[in-house]
Structure 1
Amino acid sequence: MKKVSKNNPIPLHYQIKEILQEMIENEVLKPGQSIPTEREICEIQGVSRMTVNKAIMSLVNEGLIYREQGKGTFVSIPKVNREISRLKGFTEQMEENGLISKTKILSYKIINATKQCKFELKMPENEDKIFEIKRLRFSDEQPVAIETACLPYFLYNGMTRDMIEDKPLYGIFREIYGYHPYKATQSIEPTMLSEYESKLLNQENGALALIFRQTTYMENETPIELTKAIYRSDKYKYQITLK
């Protein structure tokens, strides 16, 4: 481990953070591997416990490392990268990152659409029913997202829970209904997890997360899906391609 310079104007905690980050990026410290303890870093760097703790918490907040009560502090598995320039379903995203995905249906019901939902889905005036499907999405056995999909009832005649069990919705759209997702509008914003959401995602209450809201369209501009997905920020990041 490199040593901090006490003559450097950069704060000591920030120097330690950069030293650890460099070790992670160079795979001196590998994903899943424990990092040196706070006491060990204090001894190596000749700094206070508070200084080291500040550096470590900064890395935890960035998702580069994580803590397990009574076990230690470990290097995080690299976050799943979501490319915003292409329209892809969750399963396809996981496969492209070499990960195994799994889905658990939390609820499946037919409900009355809200005014906002009807507007977003451009539903006819005489249609007011939607399928509301809540699912917990897993990546390599770890829960990473809570997704709520709203589908216009009149577009998905005969859809049942069994039809979508362990199957990607985009596959159902194409293979059963002949709907081919062509484009989507999406917004992304930060949020804090509620107690219920925290339990589902194995996070602390109030942990930071990302909300993705998306409306998916066919080529003829017909909306076929409205979704809200809450992703763990320690497991997920997004990438935007600009041209």
Structure 2
Amino acid sequence: MSQAKKVHRGSAGDGSASGVTAISPVPLHTQIREVLRRQILDGTYPPHSQMPSESQMMNLFSVSRITIRQALGDLQKEGLIFKVMGKGSFVAKPKAFQSLSRLQGFGEAMSPSGYETYSLLMSARETEASIVVAQQFSIKPGTQVFEIQRLRYLNREPISVDVSYFPIDIGRRLVQEDLAARDIFVILENDFDLNLTHADLQIEAICADESLARHLGIAEGSPLLRMERMTYAGDVPVDFEFLYYRGDAFQYRLRIDRS
């Protein structure tokens, strides 16, 4: 059976197996988008598989080309598909995600889902605290802190650049550890006997500059998720980080309860 035949055919003017009908108050392109979205999410169209052509979908749903293009355009905006010039539409690889409901290191969060993680240590040095870093640690600007920069990999693809700052004594000890294979959180707790209790964080969307784009293997100006996170052991700040995640491959999730 061809890929195109996976979409149930039905007239746009009647009730059909696809559920697409002109009788519904929901616009046709929205109905078609939902049919295709379900089939992408349930694995009918696996990652990197090719979607039916626009002409095939026009016949399958008995609608105009502009209606199909509207549906595909919505799916592309959601990141569920991508288009290749002259070849058509393809299913995008699902984004990895990390829940923000728990304080976890990257490897801790990814391993239970079967992801392979690895870190490349780019630099480790003593440096003077900037105004931002000094404010986080409640120290004077110019005070010596320890900076560690890592390139994080997920399934052997670069996923983030992490720039972390520590008090001098902690940083000097950390650089002696296996930072390629172990999460810093795990080292702080298991090896340094620090009880990590909570973190303050903020997230914003930015565009990749030349350096970040080069390290992450993406085009300059590509979207990134930038997180600032200060982690505490009790009430003592121990780890301040700037985390830059690829917007096309990673997302954060958070459950919010209404009491």
Q: What is the TM-score when the length of structure 1 is the normalising length? A: 0.83
Q: Distance in 2 between matches of 1:19 and 1:126?
A: 56
**Matching residue of 1:14:** 30
Q: 1:197 to 1:6 in 2, by over 3 A?
A: farther
CA displacement, residues 37-69 of structure 1 (integer Å, 9 cap, x when unaligned): 334324433455554344323222322223456
May I ask how many residue pairs the two structures share in their alignment?
241
Matched, 1:230 2:222: no
Equivalent position SS for 1:213: strand
Shift of 1:140: 1.3
Shift of 1:111: 1.4
**Matching residue of 2:167:** 152
Report the AA paired with residue 64 of structure 1: L
* Residue pair 1:104, 1:166 contacting (<8 A) in 2 also: no
* Residue pair 2:209, 2:220 contacting (<8 A) in 1 also: yes
Q: Distance in 1 between matches of 2:230 and 2:52?
A: 45
Q: Distance in 2 between matches of 1:230 and 1:200?
A: 11
**Matching residue of 1:130:** 145
Equivalent position SS for 1:223: strand
**Correspondences of 1:1-243 after superposition (within 5 Å):** 1-2=7-8, 3=10, 4-6=20-22, 8-67=24-83, 73-123=89-139, 125=140, 128-160=143-175, 163-219=178-234, 221-243=235-257
Q: Distance in 2 between matches of 1:71 and 1:167?
A: 42
Report the AA paired with residue 201 of structure 2: Q
* Residue pair 1:62, 1:234 contacting (<8 A) in 2 also: no
Structure with the larger RCO, 1 or 2 (CA within 8 Å, 6+ apart) = 1
Equivalent position SS for 1:107: strand
Equivalent position SS for 2:75: helix
Q: Pick the structure with greater CA Rg.
A: 2
Unaligned 5+ segments in structure 2 are 1-6, 11-19
* Residue pair 1:188, 1:213 contacting (<8 A) in 2 also: yes
Q: Distance in 1 between matches of 2:71 and 2:210?
A: 28
Shift of 1:154: 3.5
Q: 1:158 to 1:242 in 2, by over 3 A?
A: closer
- Cα RMSD of the aligned pairs, angstroms, is 2.8
Q: Distance in 2 between matches of 1:69 and 1:122?
A: 53
Shift of 1:162: 6.1
Shift of 1:7: 5.4
Shift of 1:8: 4.8
CA displacement, residues 155-187 of structure 1 (integer Å, 9 cap, x when unaligned): 334443664233221122124332232111111
Unaligned 5+ segments in structure 1 are none
Shift of 1:230: 1.7
Report the AA paired with residue 118 of structure 2: K
Q: Distance in 2 between matches of 1:160 and 1:127?
A: 21
* Residue pair 1:146, 1:231 contacting (<8 A) in 2 also: yes
Q: Which moved more, 1:143-152 or 1:23-32?
A: 23-32
CA displacement, residues 125-165 of structure 1 (integer Å, 9 cap, x when unaligned): 49812222222212112222222111121433444366423
